[in-house]
Amino acid sequence: ISEVFNSLTGYSARRVYDELLVAPVSLRPSLKALIDRETEHAKAGRASGIVIKNNQVTDQAMIKALYRASQAGVPIDMIVRGVCCLRPGVPGISDTIRVRSVVGRFLEHSRIYAFRNGGDEEMYIGSADLMERNLDRRVETLAPVHEPDIRAHLRDVVLQALWADTHRAFELRNDGRYERVTPA
């Protein structure tokens, strides 16, 4: 982390980081590689899946990578608070993608990116949305969550609570409309 701050202040020109995914230098290619890896897991019949919780999804290259993953059979669950240019549930394009928006009384800033990785789950938390400006023109970071208990808490408590919410949640349809989620 200190190397990121050293880079910001001009004391370092480091472009490769040991643990962090850092925009604008490594975040875009690293996220694309993680999505592509899930695609390969699905094609090989291994456990695959992506869960993304962020505020915006507008980057066309990332959307195309997610579409390719969906076409390979990767289940993709997304909780996107604001703008989402991706269209879930389009036959033959995004059949395995679900997008939900949960808007509460507080501005939500947490970002979580989880990858099933053939059963060896990887998870990242940080500041980046899937937007061109976040991936290419700002300093944004994602940090891996190595501690299994913390990953389990984020997956089984935080993300599960958002998927269970039927009070403030809206589901994105493949025509771009949002419909309020109603209790079962």
Give pLDDT tens digits along the chain (184 positions): 777 666 766 666 666 778 899 899 999 999 999 999 999 999 999 999 999 999 999 999 999 999 999 999 999 999 999 999 999 999 999 999 999 999 876 666 789 999 999 999 999 999 999 999 999 999 899 999 999 999 999 999 999 999 999 988 999 999 999 999 988 7
Length of the chain: 184
How many Cβ atoms are within 10 Å of 143's Cβ, its own excluded?
A: 16
Side-chain half-sphere of 17: how many Cα atoms within 13 Å?
A: 24
CB 140 within 8 A of CB 17: no
Tokens at residue 180, please?
A: 């309020």
Say what the pTM is: 0.92
